[in-house]
Amino acid sequence: MKPAPFDYVRPASIAEACAILSEAGGGATVIAGGQTLMPLLNLRMSQPFILVDINGIAELKGVSRAGGATRIGPATRQAEALRDATLARQLPALVTALGHVGHYQTRNRGTVGGSIALGEPAAEMPATAVALGAEIEIASVRGRRSVKAEEFYLGPYMTVLEPDELVTGITYPDWPEGHVVLFREVAQRPGDFALVGMVGALALEGGSIARAGIAWFGMGPVPVRARQAEAALLGTGLGDIDADAVAALAVADTAPFDDHHASAEYRRTVGKRIFARTLREALDIRSVA
Amino acid sequence: MSFHASSVGATRYVGERTPRKEDGRLLTGRGQFTDDVQLPGMMHVAYVRSPVARGRIVSIGLDVAREMPGVQAIYTQADLAAIPVQMMSFFFTPIESPVTLLADGRVACVGDPVCMVIAESRAQAEDAAALVELEIEEETALVTIADARTGPLVHPDRDDNVAAEMGDADMLEEVIQPLLDKAPHVVTHTIRHQRIAQSPMECRACVASPEGSGEMTVWVGCQSPHLAARYVALVLGLPQESIRVIAKDVGGGFGLKNIPWREEVAVVVAARLFGRPLKWIEDRYEALTASSHAREQEVTLTIGLDEEGRLLAAWSDYACNNGAWPMGEDANIAVHMFMWPAHKLPAYGFVTRGWYTNTMGLGGYRGPWAMESLIRETTLDKAARKLGIDPVELRRRNLLYLPEQPVTSSMGIEVTDITPGECLEKLVAHVDIAAFRKEQAEARKEGRYLGMGIATYIEPTGSAGAMQPMTGETVHLRIEPTGKVVAMLSTHSQGHGTATTMAQVIADRLGVAYEDIAVFEGDSAIGAFGPGAAGSRQGVIAGGATWRATELLAEKVKAVAAHLSNASVEAVTIAEGMVHVEGAPEMSRSLKELAEIAYGDPARLPEGMASGLEAQFRYQPPPMTMTSAAHCCVVEVDAETGFVKILRWISAEDCGTVINPGVVEGQIAGGLAQAIGQVLLEEMPYDARGNPLAATFKDYLMPTMFDVPDFEYLHANTPSQTIGGMRGVGEGGCIIGPPTLVNAIADALAPFGEIEELTLPLTPARILDVIEQRDVSGRQAQPEKVAAAPVAAPLAPVPEVAEPAPAAPTGSVDGDWDMTLKAPMGGQTFLAHFDTDGAALSGYLSAPEGRQEFSGGMIDNGRMKFEVKVDKPMKITLKYDIQLDGDTITGKCRMGMFGTAKVTAVRPS
Amino acid sequence: MSEHRIDITVNGRRHTATVEARASLGEFLREGLGYTGTHLACEHGVCGACTVRVDGVAVRSCLMLAVQADGCEITTVEGLAAPDGTLHRVQQALQDNFGLQCGFCTPGVAITLAAVLDDDPAATAQDMEAAMSGHVCRCTGYQGIRRAIRQLAGEAV
């Protein structure tokens, strides 16, 4: 199928992009990498009047450090982020998750911000942002605001972004050096969206968990933060963690669905197992180290 | 015939991994696929399709769409009906429930084409298509086979939703059940096979260009340009020569492209109406949701075995979903024909039905009858576990080995040279099963679940002469005056590499360099009729044709050389493009020199010999050539997630003479990858309203490189009875692959329990169902669950077959009747003439193809029993048992292996 | 719908053209410029048949607009072999190992493998296989492609 007709504009600045979005009155859609949007356009499931290409906006690209946080420009290509030394050092969980986003060819064009802004509930990037406590910077002609990733998602492909708004940055707070990375994804083929997956980070202090951020993907209409599990882990000594019990708490926060690839019950059953296993393996490795 | 015996030069090509001739253009982006064709003035087609599964078309609003930029025309069925079309099946029999090119008043499935938009670009055509206002009064859809059994009529003009049926329900009670009752062991297995989207990488495509006065050139993605041309001409009622089909490169067919279907034929019809070239390129969304589908079937098999595991009797009940508009109504009789010929099974009976539903129609797919192997091999393994017999040993006790042949199967299949047992022995000698069992036991202690699956199969290949359009192949060869060889073939490759393998045969048999052979195919103006890639036949039949044509050409070359050298023909040899005369090295000539004489100086040829160096041969092989194989695979099942990893896969297949191992292994591997897809990944599900749910490749899970292991091959090479000794290999992997993999998974899961009912695909959730012995997959929630038929319960009688009533009022039966036999390849109507003499009955059955006399029949109170012997499609005896009732006759006809067909007759109008 | 003047270089040859905003790069290469070696097999970014290199990087040409390729250098499958017709080593390896049958997915496969090897001439078989997750082949069962990869990595086939 071919897309429905649209106008194409390629603004050179955030201000210009915001002005276009504002004038379009809801009829514009932003394209960054296009790796999820283009299929929707080709299938005519998305029919904007104006396509706003942000690939020409230099200020939306690149990785930077500021005030105890790492900022990723939303138009940064996934492949570039995967190779980025700052991200490798500061956000190993994000880099691990990025390796599971799409395929070699789609990561060459897909962007970190595009994946985050679209809000596919079974995708890795939104859940990673939620788990790591990222803030999403948003701009429009009305001004700028910042939203916690956890509050950014409303439902499948639905976010708090207003039609005139543009994501301008994703800021991930620092995690202490040597923090533990949690990541596991169950997908039928490499590059598929997950049947169930989890991502997160744990910071240890004096043999117990000092900070925890964990989120599910594929386990509900939005990326789901495992709040009860995080609470149970906080302050607990490594030797006292009952991985199965924590995993049960983690699953209790989810609302998975049935589709023809897997049932909700499968997602809960396997989710609990991979959560417990991932926790066990990550902490065992940690204690051995 | 052995290919080792040779009178030609030392350079061997048959049996070599010769690089493919097709690769040069395909690797450099210079192939010619249908979408690569651009013609001056060509317009583009997009279809408006029904968004609902069942309903009456209230109105079609075209006004807005017609005003869209670039739109040239919008056709509905009322427009296309200006050119009458009668769609046919692959077997050139009429589609029983007449299908129109576009929907005619009613829609019967989601994706039913309703309008055709013609515009200057595809995008513009889609723009307009989106604005066609379609009002349809939606009715409750029948989606599943269970729906079809109980729901309203899919096609209101038909008696029931049975699209096709065969088999003899009475045989269960009369023959099979008593044997099962006496059997020490009875094992029943049920399989629910999902719906498959064939998914060649190139979707369907058609460019139709009207030329001259009524001729047309059609580029179409097909499996034989000859068949496509003949089909299109036939359904349009045109002379075949008025349609030229070109299909140089086709991106895979797999049965989907056996015949052009509604959309392609509609493009041809519309191009005639519109008078300009039209192009339709199916997109992937259409390909998945609106191309004919395959496979959706439910089958229950019950086998009885003695104490030692020897088969005593078997019964199966088979049903397949034909959808609304099948490419020929189908009860899949071949499942039953080929389930048991390789086994020592005394008695087999079945009922088999195809059902209409409001889903996309049934089409072909690699090994359409593959269920025979899947249900047999998985049931045998289930029996092996139940009886505590090793699965290899169970097969040894039941398979027919070569020394026990020839035999005729209980369904009339003549088995003369099959080798599934021999392949199994070869496999077992190669795979250390005992070591695996040890490893498996150790792994289980660690919570790792390994499984090994073994299966055997036979496959009818190279079918010719038994039914339309399965026939021979023609090869036209010549040595050009340049000394180069040109071959014009009736073959067609959608990836099969026929130009390569046929050139290998020519090079090998003639004694010329492979590089000096040019092969032309892929055009109905080249070669002669052949049905192309269908039924694993081209290597067998075209291979034989090429083999013999090359020998004929070599004979001519030798005759010319012998004449010129005043030597005997026996003294002449050809090698490396040189013609040598034994004992006279000075008389050696290149083929070029010889050709120059043959073409340019015919006076030097033997008297009466035609000039030039040409040969032609059409090969009609034996009706069927059997291929056999045994496969083994090893899997590991992750008990935590239900994921299956294939660790090893070994194929031991016997496809006779192997022309090119690279090509043969490629066919096996491709089929096995599709088998893996069917068992683990692929599914085209429908929701309860009849919406297809896998609309993109994100949802329709095609196997990737990570899902397919490295295959190991053990080639057994028992030459067949054909010229060259080849056996077909195109479909085998897709037939033997599913049971091999399912058996391995079942073996891995054995510590947890049986897969009681096998529902495909075996998703991770369904595997956890077995491991955890609870409903993880949510299968209980599925509304369309169908209970397996209990073994002992009598099966529902075949509907609409009137049992002969004892005291029906009768008149005279003498004279002519219009009789209809509901046969497996579609309905057959013919004239029946009866003469009675007291209780004696004789007469004849007459059809355009011929007349069959019969005598020795009996008539008693209107009930007639008589037998007719026929040669086609095979030598079988038709046993009629019919009842006269006034002006109608109803009853049935037992047709040997074809089961039982419904018979009706009326007085000629 | 907006139309745009673009200037792109394909296989070293410069082209200027006016494109509709909605035309994908793949569609434009095929229909606008006649590079029909690039095949559109799904148009939703899953199968990989349409893969081309844009400024050296392998991307799906169905998931990029032609207008977005303005000023870019494109390599399609037609641009892989040397001008004298000598096959690229990826093409040669695919032929040597029966890595194609119908050839419809092949252009994308060849482009991806060439891109991986150009980026890293020491790429391992594992590196190349990882990039192959983005390609679907219905014919070969991937056997020949995998053997070709091993040959390219200098491993035993």
User: What is the value of ipTM here, to two decimals?
Assistant: 0.98
Total domains, chain A: 3
Q: Which of B202-216, B447-461, B821-835, C23-37 has the lowest mean pLDDT?
A: B821-835
How far is the alpha carbon of A37 from chain C, nearest alpha carbon, in Å?
8
Does residue A46 belong to any structural domain of this protein?
yes
Mean pLDDT of B361-371: 97
Q: Identify all chain B residues contacting A101, using CB atoms and an 8 Å cutoff.
A: none
Domain B815-906 has CATH 2.40.128.120: yes
pLDDT at A285 over 80: no
CB contact under 8 A, C44 and B697: yes
Residue A68 lies in a domain: yes
Same-domain pairing of A62 and A169: yes
Q: What is the pLDDT of residue B897?
A: 59
Q: What is the pLDDT of residue B827?
A: 67
**Does position B3 have pLDDT exceeding 70, yes or no?**
no
CB nearest C58 (choices: A5, A6, A104)? A104
Does C5 reach chain A within 8 Å, measured CB to CB?
A: no
Task: Indicate whether A202 and A230 sit together in one domain.
Answer: yes
- Select from 3.30.70.20, 3.40.50.620, 2.30.30.40, 3.30.365.10 the CATH code of B297-462+624-781: 3.30.365.10
Which residues of chain A neighbour B683 with C-beta distances below 8 Å? 260
B708: closest chain C residue by CA: C141
Contact C65 A8 (CB under 8 A): yes
How does the average pLDDT of chain B come out, rounded?
A: 92
Within a domain: residue A1?
A: no
* Confidence tier at B7 by pLDDT (50, 70, 90): very low
Q: Is C8 on the interface with A (CB under 8 A)?
A: no
Per-residue pLDDT, B892 = 85
Q: Is C142 on the interface with B (CB under 8 A)?
A: yes
Q: Which residues of A touch B195 (CB under 8 A)?
A: none
Instruction: Name the domain boundary from A145, A173, A201.
Output: A173
Q: Are residues A75 and A120 in the same domain?
A: yes
pLDDT at B409: 85
Mean pLDDT, residues C90-95: 98
What is the SS3 assignment for B304? strand
Highest mean pLDDT among A5-9, B803-807, B883-887: A5-9
Asked if B127 has any chain A CB less than 8 Å from its own CB, the reply is yes
HSE of B757, CA atoms in CB hemisphere, 13 A: 14
Taking CB atoms and an 8 Å limit, are C62 and A42 in contact across chains? yes
Tell me the pLDDT band of B294, cut-offs 50, 70 and 90: very high
Same domain, A198 and A132: no
- Tens-place pLDDT, residues B229-246: 999 999 999 988 899 999
pLDDT confidence band for B826 (50 / 70 / 90): low
- Put simply, the answer to whether C44 touches B696 (Cβ < 8 Å) is yes
Burial of B646 (0-12, 13-18, 19+ CB in 10 A): buried
B130–A contact, CB cutoff 8 A: yes
Look at residues B809, B800, B801, B803 and name the one whose alpha carbon lies nearest to residue B862: B809
pLDDT (mean) for A202-222: 96
Q: Which neighbouring-strand residues pair with B115? A: B48
Quote the minimal CA–CA distance from B520 to chain C in Å.
16
A2 within some domain: no
Instruction: Quickly state the pLDDT bin for B190 (edges 50, 70, 90).
Output: very high
CB contact under 8 A, B640 and A190: no
If you average pLDDT over residues B384-406, what whole number do you get?
A: 97
Please answer whether residues A74 and A149 qualify as being in contact, where contact means their C-beta atoms are separated by less than 8 angstroms: no
Which CATH number does the domain housing residue A22 bear? 3.30.43.10
CA distance C64 to chain B (A): 16
Average pLDDT score over residue span B695-711: 97
Q: Is the pLDDT of residue B505 over 70?
A: yes
Residues of chain B in contact with residue A1, where contact means CB-CB under 8 angstroms, are 126, 283, 285
Percent of chain B with pLDDT over 90: 85
Contact A249, A232 (CB under 8 A): yes
Of A15, A35, A56, the position where a domain reaches its end is: A56
- Of A173, A195, A213, which marks where a domain is finished? A173
Average confidence (pLDDT) over B571-577: 95
Q: Which residues touch B745 (CB under 8 Å, ≥6 apart)?
A: B451, B453, B635, B637, B644, B679, B755, B762, B767
Is residue C48 less than 8 Å (CB to CB) from chain B? Answer: no
Question: Which of A3, A4, A191 is facing C134, going by the closest CB pair?
Answer: A191
Residue A182, both tokens: 């949690």
Which has more pLDDT, B808 or A66?
A: A66
CB contact under 8 Å between C44 and A106, yes or no, is no
Interface probe, candidates C101, C128, C155, chain B, greatest B C-beta count within 10 A: C101
Is C98 within 8 Å of B20 when comparing Cβ atoms?
Answer: yes
C134 with A104: Cβ contact below 8 A: yes
Q: Are residues A88 and A141 in the same domain?
A: yes
Segments making up each domain of chain B, as ranges: 23-31+474-619, 34-139+203-250+257-281, 297-462+624-781, 815-906
**What pLDDT is stored for residue B8 in this prediction?**
46
Q: Out of A6, A34, A190, whose CB is closest to C63?
A: A34
How many Å is the Cα radius of gyration of chain A?
Answer: 19
CB contact under 8 A, B777 and A263: yes
pLDDT of residue B781: 59
Contacts of A270 in chain B (CB under 8 A): 640-642, 764, 768
Peptide bond into B368 cis (omega under 30): no
A44 and A74 together in one domain = no
Whether this prediction's pTM lies above 0.90 is answered by yes
The total number of residues shown for chain C amounts to: 157
From A176's Cα to the closest Cα of chain C, the distance in A is 31
B68 contact residues in A (CB cutoff 8 A):
none
Cβ contacts of B206 within 8 Å, gap of 6 or more: B34, B218, B219, B220, B221, B260, B263, B264, B267, B268, B279, B280
CA distance B697 to C63: 14
**Would you call C143 and B669 a contact, using CB atoms and an 8 Å cutoff?**
yes
- Residue C107 touches partner B, C-beta closer than 8 Å: yes
Give the mean pLDDT of A95-118: 97
With a pLDDT cut of 70, the percent of chain B lying above it is: 94
State the span(s) of chain C assigned CATH 1.10.150.120: 89-152
Closest residue of chain A to C115, computed from CA coordinates:
A105
Provide the shortest C-alpha distance from residue B674 to chain C (in Å). 8
More confident position, B894 or B201: B201
pLDDT tops 60 at residue B802: no
Work out how many CB contacts closer than 8 A connect A with B. 80
Instruction: Determine, yes or no, domain membership for A48.
Output: yes
Q: Return the CATH number at A104.
A: 3.30.465.10
Q: Which residues of A touch B781 (CB under 8 A)?
A: 258
Of A92, A67, A45, A19, the residue nearest A169 (C-alpha): A67
Buried/exposed A134-152: b ≥16 CB within 10 Å, e otherwise: bbbbbbbeeeeeebebbeb
Mean pLDDT of chain A: 95
In CATH, the architecture of B23-31+474-619 is 2-Layer Sandwich (3.30)
Q: What is the assigned CATH class of domain B34-139+203-250+257-281?
A: alpha beta
Per-residue pLDDT reduced to its tens digit, B66-108: 999 999 999 999 999 999 999 999 999 999 888 999 999 999 9
Q: Which residues of A touch B (CB under 8 A)?
A: 1-5, 39, 43-44, 186, 188-190, 192-193, 195, 258, 260-266, 269-270, 273-274, 277
**Shortest Cα–Cα distance, C87 to chain A (Å):** 23
Which chain A residue's Cα is nearest to B638? A270
Q: B880 with B418: CB under 8 angstroms?
A: no
Q: Is the pLDDT of residue B806 over 50?
A: no
Topology alike, domains B23-31+474-619 and B297-462+624-781: yes
- Which chain B positions have a beta carbon within 8 Å of A39's beta carbon? 696, 698
- Give pLDDT, residue A288: 40
Distance between CA atoms of B345 and B343, rounded to whole angstroms? Answer: 6
B-proximal residues of C, 28-47, CB under 8 Å: 30-31, 35-44, 46-47
Minimal CA separation from A32 to chain C, in Å: 10
Give the number of other Cβ atoms within 10 Å of residue A22's Cβ: 17
Poorest-pLDDT segment among A174-188, B84-98, B245-259, B784-798: B784-798
User: Does residue B874 register a pLDDT over 70?
Assistant: no
pLDDT band of A260, cuts 50, 70, 90:
confident
Residues A214-226: what's their mean pLDDT? 97
> What is the pLDDT, as a whole number, of residue B785?
35
Residue A264's CATH number: 3.30.390.50
Rg (CA), chain C: 15
Residue B594 pLDDT level (bands cut at 50, 70, 90)? very high
Cβ contacts (< 8 Å) between C81 and chain B: which residues? Answer: 27-28
Question: B468 falls in which pLDDT band (50, 70, 90)?
Answer: confident
Domain with CATH 3.10.20.30 in chain C: 3-78
CB contact under 8 A, C103 and B697: no
Q: Which of B770-779, B782-791, C112-121 has the lowest mean pLDDT?
A: B782-791
Chains that touch C (3 or more CB pairs under 8 A): A, B
Instruction: Confirm or reject CATH 3.10.20.30 for domain C3-78, answering yes or no.
Output: yes
Domain that holds residue A145: 58-173
Residue C33 has what pLDDT?
A: 97
C48 contacts chain A (CB < 8 A): yes
Mark yes or no for CB contact B130/A44 under 8 Å: yes
B685 neighbourhood in chain A, CB within 8 Å: 260
Same domain, A66 and A44: no
Chain A residues in contact with C44 by the CB 8 A cut-off are: 38-39, 42-43
Closest CA in chain B for residue A43? B285
Phi, psi of A107 (to 5 degrees): -70, -25
**Span A135-147, mean pLDDT?**
98
pLDDT of B780 reads 67
d(C-alpha B128, C-alpha B132), whole Å? 7
Q: Tell the CATH topology of C89-152.
A: DNA polymerase; domain 1 (1.10.150)
pLDDT at B646 over 90: yes
